[in-house]
A and B are shown apart, each in its own frame.
Chain A
């Protein structure tokens, strides 16, 4: 099992640009999650899905953030337009029936 796969590992972009982060959950897992980790706010749950349907997006900070899950094996987190305060490590995780979470290696986003 390859685990949760995220791309890119690092992203540097200019303020105002659109950023798309990608995630491939573990095959068969029915709960994918997006988290954001910063020193100030720790690990925040942004959004999670169940069977490709968004269940709770109350953690999404602003309308500039959107997440989709077009199929069970692929999810995206988009920020448009990006701002310097969006700089963080973004993690995708997945879970089978909500028992325990398996994390990807993260995408380190820097917005300059």
Chain B
């Protein structure tokens, strides 16, 4: 399988706290991407980090990438109840996208 793995599988935090989730992958990549999925909906693209980048920020999101370890992390700062969702990393070794197993994040108001 070319799927990655997210860790932890589930995460529950209080509103205002930071949430960190990790992704390990197996293939070479052009980019590493993170997506969000609300219950019953399709995935929505959050952020893309290129293979030659180490860190990227977008609003309350911070992504890091370590290609030597084939790993990435997503940090959501100052979490809100509306951040409750599943988060997936995706690799794109070619023009296709392979998704990890996801982290289910619950933010308690």
Measured in the bound complex, the distance between the Cα atoms of B88 and A91 in whole Å is 15
Chain A, interface size category, equals 20 to 34
A92 nearest in chain B by CB position: B42
Identify which of B10-18, B60-68, B92-100 touches chain A.
B92-100
Name the contact of B96 in the complex, choosing from A4, A45, A97, A103 (C-beta under 8 A).
Answer: A45
What secondary structure prevails in chain A residues at the interface with B? strand
Render B21-34 as a binary contact track against A, CB cut-off 8 A, 1 for contact.
00000000001010
In this assembly, does B41 line the interface, its C-beta being within 8 Å of a C-beta of chain A? yes
Q: Which residues of A contact B102 (CB under 8 A)?
A: 42-43
Contacts of A4 in B (CB 8 A): 42
Complex contacts, B95 vs chain A, CB 8 Å: 31, 48, 50, 55, 95, 97-98
Residue of A nearest to B46 (CB): A100
10 interchain pairs, CB-CB under 8 A: A31-B95, A43-B43, A43-B99, A44-B3, A45-B96, A97-B95, A101-B43, A102-B45, A104-B42, A106-B42
